Amino acid sequence: MKVTNLFRFYRLGVGKRGVVTTRYPNGPAELPAAAQCAPELTGKCDACGHCAEACPTKAIAVTTSKFTIDLGDCIYCGECARGCPKGSIVMGKNCELSARKREGLEVSYDVRQ
Amino acid sequence: MSGSDSELEVLGGQMKDRIRNVLGRSLAIREVDAGSCNACEVEVNALTNPIYDIERFGLHIVASPRHADAILVTGPVTRNMERGLVQSYNAMAEPRMVIAMGVCAIGGGLFRECYACHKGVGEVVPVDVYIPGCPPRPQAIIQGIMVALDKWQQRK
Ligand code: SF4
Ligand code: SF4
Ligand code: SF4
């Protein structure tokens, strides 16, 4: 039959991927290697403020004692990480950041000189 | 079916049971685009593809707020969409919920300074759950929906 001939390449397994469905939310969120989520302060910081200046949405506030990122404003662009002379900001891999309150989206770190 | 496949089904069933427990049925979500750049919509579309496949949990994106338990709002709420958003909210039956998805919907994001829109959904209708990201990943949206389920459970 003509129709069976037409779809014969499916029988040969062309393009077959098997199960692609992710385990999430019953397993960890598997992100691609290039994925970047919210920035995180991981190293020393001298409160120079370059990151806050570089941020297009003004999501970062830095004082000599506290470093705060408002994830409700952050667009995950990575400008802060590129702008930090100490390389202390890394783009994280945690995407599970939902909150029930607007204030719950603010993430603070103690500044280590 | 291989071992890992059946395990996946069982675990998926747990989330389904939770939705049943909390709502007594499936969870229906209406997506409202209140002036987004459409990247958020692309991620919502991805939720129903074979990879994220939220329908296996009994989560459905529906065609009308009349059918929905929750609205998932994207975008900073432009002047033209303000009325549409309020009407969608009023059209939902109680108990209803509003999920703000993306930084635009949370606080205006990149469009905060714009004359033609609000600074987020919160200025127009009460928001129950905020999902940060620009756009939020599909996993982030699923997590936001789970946070909404927790809230429903507490209201009960
Ligand atoms: S990732 Fe971009 S938007 Fe987010 S804090 Fe850094 S510079 Fe600001
Ligand atoms: S994180 Fe880096 S750029 Fe930002 S204030 Fe600290 S040292 Fe400066
Ligand atoms: S949050 Fe980002 S991706 Fe979503 S509508 Fe706004 S600008 Fe677009």
Ligand 3 pocket (Cβ < 6 Å) reads: B 36-37, 39-40, 74-75, 102-104, 109-110, 134-135
Instruction: Check residue B65 and report its DSSP letter.
Output: G
Cα first-last separation, chain A: 76
Closest residue, chain A, to B145 (C-alpha) = A98
The length of chain B, given as a count of residues: 156
CATH for A34-110 is: 3.30.70.3270
What is the mean predicted confidence (pLDDT) over B76-84? 94
Is the beta carbon of A72 within 6 A of some atom in ligand 2? no
> Is beta strand B59-61 parallel, antiparallel or unpaired with respect to A89-91?
unpaired
| CATH number, position B88 | 3.40.50.12280
Instruction: Provide the residue range defining the domain that includes B147.
Output: 3-155
**Atom 6 in ligand 3: which residue has the minimum CA distance?**
B104
Number of domain units in chain B: 1
Residue B116 has pLDDT above 90, yes or no: yes
Per CB-CB distance under 8 Å, the chain A contacts of B47 are none
Q: Do A21 and B51 touch (CB under 8 A)?
A: yes
For A64-67, the CB contacts below 8 A with 24+ separation are A64/A111, A65/A110, A65/A111, A66/A108, A66/A109, A66/A110, A66/A111, A67/A41, A67/A108, A67/A109, A67/A110, A67/A111
Q: What per-residue confidence (pLDDT) applies to B2?
A: 36
Region of B29 on the Ramachandran plot (φ > 0 left; ψ -120 to 50 alpha; else beta):
beta
Which two structure tokens, joined as six digits, stand for B143? 């997590």
Is the beta carbon of A62 within 6 A of some atom in ligand 1? no
Distance CA A59, CA B110 (A): 11
Q: Tens digit of pLDDT for each residue in A19-74? A: 888 888 888 888 889 889 999 999 899 999 999 999 999 999 999 999 999 999 99
Sorted by where each begins, the domain ranges of chain A are 34-110
- pTM of the entire predicted model: 0.88
Q: What per-residue confidence (pLDDT) applies to A70?
A: 94
Q: Tens digit of pLDDT for each residue in B34-43? A: 999 999 999 9
Q: Which residue spans within chain B are E strands per DSSP?
A: 27-33, 59-61, 70-74, 97-101, 129-131
Nearest residue, CB atoms, B130 vs list A38, A74, A98: A98
